[in-house]
Structure 1
């Protein structure tokens, strides 16, 4: 039997709830003083989930408000709401409903959004597939998650041979006319009417997939959560209602999905494109006067690496927020972005499993470049040593554990992350500085033990990319008979740069301890990365 919460625990919960409501009110998410609208919003979110519920509320509040802009132009919240009603009705006529698992293998566009909304209205579970999947990964995930229907873009048709014939197919996006082997979502929508659909017994929710850098991606369910949890993003990131967000991070990734849903909840317009392009992103930000830009760090790298004349061509002065998450943001890249765009960088640390852990504001970054900041309301971060003892001293490295109302409850295959004192392991190691700012030192499974000394690759990598002639760097440990492991660096040079291995080693020796100097240096055209920019270290040898 679970013990009743203590008085102090109840007091903490009440305090967090009050703070969360205050944060949401300041952002414009709580419609005070319209109590009736607030109750209606809570009712719709409870019926259809945070995404479909928020879209319906935005459509009701202003039927002409633009919810989304993609390559096909603008579409209003009301149009999205109505078309998803029709799609949900058409799918229900084909036997899909509460508990059904629907997968989406799509780029970012309105048809994916409509499919997401329709799945929520059906009470179906939607698995967001990575667009970088090969056939074996697609087959493994579809079988494990028991996918019954698959929505896909035409460009991925050849991958579908990996999926069983009993899985229904629906075409999401097509730039071609004529006949198609499977129905398009547009054909399903026009085949029925767009009247509101009955609410399911409970919203279906999403399944996000882990990055899969060490094997087949695991499924992390995201069921319905309390609207109060949106305060975890809004507490330290000043998003506001009725603005415009450019979404560069893909919707299948937790970064893109969370900010997309939050933008719709705020009644903000979202601008997206099927594929990321750095100059097109700047053009979109300038054209739509976007106040927020959501990226993963590799996308930011491609933007700031543009020719200065290209950067100066677009007016991005409306940007108040560059929201970054998904992988480590190096001090060099964060500083370069600040020089280009001003103090707008917000660096979020979290994961598919724990969701939000900490956020570094521009003020945090100015004080300590490379930090991931502090925990927002409703979140807690604690460091533990290998024996499970809590670490309280600054500068001492420990394993990172996170408490958050958005943390998942376990993978779809029944496994879970390690839990200590109710907090979930992030899989990273880090330390707090004397001001209480968190720094991530690396993955706990990436630590290199060389000659009895512990080395985390990120320290060496961050040093290397500070050089103007180095574009990217990755460091791994390789087997060594004498030292157990030795460091090997993989370096991508900037255009036109010339560099040799001895210069790289001498540079590291001049700035770091001798045992952190790579014994080997290999130059590559590019680092192997997945679709969200994480380095695939298992591809480096």
Structure 2
């Protein structure tokens, strides 16, 4: 009886939370509850084609001539993006692909990637979004595992395609100057020019898409989403203010969750999205200034490069319209959070989540001032809980536990059949965290990053944050390596700041002065740069393989 009452209470709570999410979507302008006809049509198209395609269709109906995408080739309006998406969808089906087939896309951020996403939804094709940082063996293994039937890709990745069967259809999403189109391949432009501009027949079921995990410790896993609830947009928009019919600059890769999710919400609000194929700090400021952008979406490494430009360069650009800087993808250090807000004003929002759980928490500017580095509080439809190793709930403040999330937009399990651990409806993020006296969540590090050295538990992130605050250090990563005496010993990889000379004894003494003795790295290795993936996460497996 008690269990039934508990289930009923949970169900009523979920219903109330769903209602809150709908109201929040209305308040943010994502939907208009005063126009139930539009809401119903949007919901129907979302079920059939998926959110990206449905949002572009709605944009073409409601603001056909507004700019939708700006890249190196110029601007596409919502109407043009809609028509070209239809043409590409029909052309893909004419290539012999059938609804439900998996196609891959390996592209940087530009119109070709957006067209591939939108066209796949209209054709009922499942889209696997590949990481532009793949090495050839990874790329081949993931393409085979996901059963990819065609590959859309930028010409700079022609060499990677050698790892795939030569009979696999290839379509170029972007052709760099001086690059030839391989024999037998087509370009997106060619297919669009010869394609039917009318909507293709509605697929029997949505194709959905596969977003890959970061793969920092091994082969990226595929996290599919066939049906995407509108609540996912509510989770992003709840604590993160988006402009409406304004401009957003996205430099976080769209093939990954943060870039993809923020682009989706920006599109729902009729914004122009400015895309840059490669990140350059000054070019990003130039884009914000020239397009009068109100929002910038990036990863922490990019913010580090922006503030490193210094006031002399930053002050060349008019950034007065910039009201929101959204950051996610890897850990934001307390020192960087403060420097960004000291440089650009209190406009920083720190998103925490994953490909699997979507948005778990968001820290707003005032919370980052109160507790720099925090990941904040859960948005609507998201709940967090901490559990100890025995699965018992951790409720005390400032006590570390495993972070679990109950999300309004859970994933469907990995494409290799595995799944995340669940406790009481909450899904593991794989991180360790604690909730402070203000109710704000802090991430201590990955639960599998914990290093037991000489019987003491150490989380590298604490040491990394300490060292990152030093002016002579540009980047730092700390890992555990095998040690005969201690089982594991700490090794710090450090990239000195430009013009700085780092002293290894000084580094060790500094850590010893500020942290416990057992947290002092036994080894300190100086590097020119840290190995990172496209979302800015350090590739620890590469560091582990270094001698």
Q: Same fold (TM over 0.5)?
A: yes
CA RMSD of superposed structures (Å): 1.6
1:172 match: 173
Asked whether the equivalents of residues 128 and 207 of structure 1 are also in contact (C-alpha less than 8 Å), the reply is yes
For 1:400 and 1:349, the matched residues in 2 are separated by 11
For 1:432 and 1:307, the matched residues in 2 are separated by 34
Q: How does 1:209-248 map to 2 (within 5 A)?
A: 209-248=212-251
The structural deviation recorded for 1:4 is: 9.7
2:186 to 164, 169, 183: 183
2:94 match: 93
Asked whether the equivalents of residues 63 and 270 of structure 2 are also in contact (C-alpha less than 8 Å), the reply is no
For 1:175 and 1:530, the matched residues in 2 are separated by 22
Q: How does 1:481-520 map to 2 (within 5 A)?
A: 481-520=484-523
For 2:181 and 2:373, the matched residues in 1 are separated by 52
Q: How does 1:315-354 map to 2 (within 5 A)?
A: 315-354=318-357
The structural deviation recorded for 1:43 is: 2.1
For 1:216 and 1:10, the matched residues in 2 are separated by 37
2:299 to 283, 296, 301: 296
Residues 128-166 of structure 1 show CA distances to partners (whole Å, capped at 9, x for unaligned) of: 111111110111011000000000111111111101123
1:251 aligns with 2:276: no
Asked whether the equivalents of residues 243 and 294 of structure 2 are also in contact (C-alpha less than 8 Å), the reply is no
The structural deviation recorded for 1:372 is: 0.5
2:438 to 430, 435, 444: 435
1:208 aligns with 2:208: no
Q: Name the SS for the 2:218 alignment partner.
A: coil
The structural deviation recorded for 1:47 is: 2.2
Question: Which stretches in structure 2 are left out of the alignment for 5+ residues?
Answer: none
1:126 match: 127
1:29 match: 30
For 1:172 and 1:487, the matched residues in 2 are separated by 44
The structural deviation recorded for 1:40 is: 2.1
2:141 match: 140
For 1:480 and 1:96, the matched residues in 2 are separated by 53
1:111 match: 112
Asked whether the equivalents of residues 231 and 409 of structure 2 are also in contact (C-alpha less than 8 Å), the reply is no
Asked whether the equivalents of residues 64 and 76 of structure 1 are also in contact (C-alpha less than 8 Å), the reply is yes
For 1:482 and 1:464, the matched residues in 2 are separated by 26
For 2:506 and 2:387, the matched residues in 1 are separated by 38
Residues 300-324 of structure 1 show CA distances to partners (whole Å, capped at 9, x for unaligned) of: 1111111321111111121111111
1:284 match: 287
The structural deviation recorded for 1:253 is: 1.1
2:199 to 196, 199, 223: 196
The structural deviation recorded for 1:499 is: 2.2
Asked whether the equivalents of residues 28 and 240 of structure 1 are also in contact (C-alpha less than 8 Å), the reply is no
For 1:510 and 1:161, the matched residues in 2 are separated by 53
Asked whether the equivalents of residues 49 and 205 of structure 1 are also in contact (C-alpha less than 8 Å), the reply is yes
Asked whether the equivalents of residues 451 and 485 of structure 1 are also in contact (C-alpha less than 8 Å), the reply is yes
Compute the TM-score of the two structures, normalised by the length of structure 1: 0.97
Residues 469-502 of structure 1 show CA distances to partners (whole Å, capped at 9, x for unaligned) of: 1111111112223322221111111111122111
For 2:411 and 2:181, the matched residues in 1 are separated by 42
Asked whether the equivalents of residues 243 and 295 of structure 2 are also in contact (C-alpha less than 8 Å), the reply is no
The structural deviation recorded for 1:409 is: 1.7
Question: Which stretches in structure 1 are left out of the alignment for 5+ residues?
Answer: none
Q: Name the SS for the 1:316 alignment partner.
A: coil
Q: How does 1:516-527 map to 2 (within 5 A)?
A: 516-527=519-530
2:467 match: 464
For 2:499 and 2:115, the matched residues in 1 are separated by 45
**Structure 1 residues 5 and 76: alpha-carbon distance in aligned structure 2, compared to 1, 3 A threshold:** farther
1:417 to 413, 416, 420: 420
For 2:470 and 2:95, the matched residues in 1 are separated by 58
Which moved further from structure 2: 399-408 or 145-154? Answer: 399-408
Q: Name the SS for the 2:312 alignment partner.
A: helix
Compute the TM-score of the two structures, normalised by the length of structure 2: 0.96
Asked whether the equivalents of residues 151 and 172 of structure 1 are also in contact (C-alpha less than 8 Å), the reply is yes
For 1:212 and 1:10, the matched residues in 2 are separated by 35
Which moved further from structure 2: 378-387 or 93-102? Answer: 93-102
Asked whether the equivalents of residues 431 and 438 of structure 1 are also in contact (C-alpha less than 8 Å), the reply is yes
Q: Name the SS for the 1:148 alignment partner.
A: strand
Asked whether the equivalents of residues 27 and 240 of structure 1 are also in contact (C-alpha less than 8 Å), the reply is no
**Structure 1 residues 176 and 470: alpha-carbon distance in aligned structure 2, compared to 1, 3 A threshold:** closer
For 1:505 and 1:228, the matched residues in 2 are separated by 48
2:150 match: 149
For 1:6 and 1:418, the matched residues in 2 are separated by 20
For 1:517 and 1:240, the matched residues in 2 are separated by 45
**Structure 1 residues 33 and 94: alpha-carbon distance in aligned structure 2, compared to 1, 3 A threshold:** same
